[in-house]
Structure 1
Amino acid sequence: MNDGNLIKKLRIERNITQKELAAGLCSRSTLARFENNNGNIQAYLLINILERMNITFEEYASYKSNNERSKKEVLSENFSNKVLNIQHGETYLQSLYQEYNQTNDLYYLHLYCQGRIILSKVYNKEINLANEFKIIKKHLDNVDNWGFFELTMYTNSLYLFDYDQTIYQFDQVIAQINKFSNSIKIKHLKIHFLVNSIILSFEHEKPKLTTKYLEILHASSEHTDFILGRIFWKFFTGLQNAQNNHTIFDAEVTLSWLHSLGYSNLVENFRGIQELVEAKNNI
């Protein structure tokens, strides 16, 4: 369904007249022309029209796609499980790289690199993504205002960057994320970025940075919509206390609780992180 027809449908469903919807935004004739002929409409006007109908842009995009999943959505579904599949994981990663070569779309290259990073962490495998990293870094360097894609790509590729550089860029990345303070999707991405940053701070034995990042994670997970962030905060705080006191961190109560809720993959992630940190610090 085109934009004009969709706006008209959504307007009528909500019992809003063209005059009411256009008031203070544009002329009624402009709206009518758009609805009837699917003419061009400026982005700011479309956003204001949607806001007046109490429809988010994410909802509108979903209506417009008519719930048809894109190729990217299909390929990235159950991503970690596909990567870690013993029989088909390598084939899956190669299909992502092939898709990148055919389309030159960095989305597929970023997924490929993320998969290789996961394998290196889970199975302690060496990876060589120097050429892929150059391509990703060049794109990020050329974009001044990072959007959701750039922030996601940086977050998922964080382990490929020089660690000192990630420290230097941390505040800048948080500032970029905070520009989208009204986006629930980017707030969840912020949690993901902080979790990866904390893991790296443990790996590189930077306790002051760990404390700083934990404070931001705690503040960023205050709302229950971001309870996973608070769970990570609690877990990492326990690890840090054990590290400072040279004691063993007993996470079994928390992990058993998460397992009972069906979050078995998350439990395995926590176990892997704990083993890595304790091995690194001889706890």
Structure 2
Amino acid sequence: MEKNLKTGKIIAFIRKTKHLKLKEMTGGSFSESQLAKFEKGETEITVGKLFTVLENSNVYFDEFQNLYNDYEQSNEYSYRHKLAIAYAQKNVEEIKEIQDFWKEKCQQKPDNKFYQINQIVVKINLAMVQNSKPYKKDITFLMNYLDSVDEWGRYELWIFGNCLRHFDDNALEYYGIQILGKANYYHSIHLNQQIVIRIFLNLIDTWLRRENLIQAFKYINHLNEIGISINFFYEKILFEYHKAHYKVLQKQKGAIEEMKKHAQILEDHGYSLEAKVLFEEIEKL
């Protein structure tokens, strides 16, 4: 009922901002009174009727999704962004606070597997920041979940992208092969496409760190075939950086300078925190 109320409020918001009448929204496909009750959260409408309302309002579904996510952003939705920032800043205290949030959620509803998954992902991020290893049982829990899902959406991509560095070689190779078959939505959804590209970049980086040039080259070829749009500027430059890193491990001359050049490009375009990490990595080579 809470979701119906939220969706209804968004539809009411769309109608009022576009100065449309209930009749214009329904197009005569169903009663105006049903739509009015839906806007108040008093009743439900079918998915087909929702699409009719959006079509008659000239609102695309992805626009509706953005409104839905932004209208009353929940802790469950916004914490991922906070976690990403805390990890990038190596902010242990912030990550621990997020972990406490999910620990409390798990205590309130111990049978909710998504709360357990979220807590594990945070624990793994904390382990990476502290240069420690996560529990094997936690990694196994995540792998069992990923194996159980036939079609990966944004949530599953987020799980894999955050935790792939702690998968062993066999698991990493297996999921790397599976990802394109499991994430069919990435072609048509802009954000999902960006997430998939970042996962491939993480895979390349992970294989390079393990000095497995064969696997790294395979995913470099994958990204070359997919292509990275100029709309994904950060990802495009980071890809060039990883390709230069690959050349370094092949002992090619000038490759270190090439890595520095791409890190500098990111810094010059406002990615100072990310560039700092890359420069630190270059110093260790």
Greater mean alpha carbon deviation, residues 226-235 or residues 150-159: 226-235
Greater mean alpha carbon deviation, residues 34-43 or residues 100-109: 34-43
Residues 275 and 129 (structure 1 numbering): CA distance in 2 closer, same or farther, change over 3 Å?
A: farther
Superposed counterparts of 1:21-170, under 5 Å: 21-23=25-27, 26-29=29-32, 30-35=34-39, 38-57=42-61, 59-64=63-68, 67-72=71-76, 75-79=79-83, 82-83=86-87, 89-104=91-106, 105=115, 106-117=117-128, 119=129, 125-170=131-176
Partner of 1:281: none
Structure 2, unpaired ranges of 5+:
107-114
TM-score of the two chains, using structure 1 as the length reference: 0.78
Of 250, 257, 265, the residue aligned with 1:257 is 265
Aligned residue pairs total 269
* C-alpha distance in structure 2 between counterparts of 1:37 and 1:70, whole Å: 18
* C-alpha distance in structure 2 between counterparts of 1:240 and 1:50, whole Å: 48
Matched, 1:235 2:227: no
Matched, 1:171 2:173: no
Structure 1, unpaired ranges of 5+:
279-283
Of 258, 261, 267, the residue aligned with 2:275 is 267
Moved segments of 4+, more than 6 Å: none
Partner of 2:14: 10
Q: Is the 8 A contact 1:4 1:39 kept in 2?
A: no
Q: What is the alpha-carbon root mean square deviation over aligned residues?
A: 3.1
Partner of 2:229: 223
Residues 10 and 83 (structure 1 numbering): CA distance in 2 closer, same or farther, change over 3 Å?
A: closer
* C-alpha distance in structure 2 between counterparts of 1:66 and 1:202, whole Å: 38
Give CA deviations for 1:171-227 in whole Å, capped at 9, x if unaligned: 321222232422222111112101111012213333333233123323445322212
Q: Identity percentage over the alignment?
A: 18
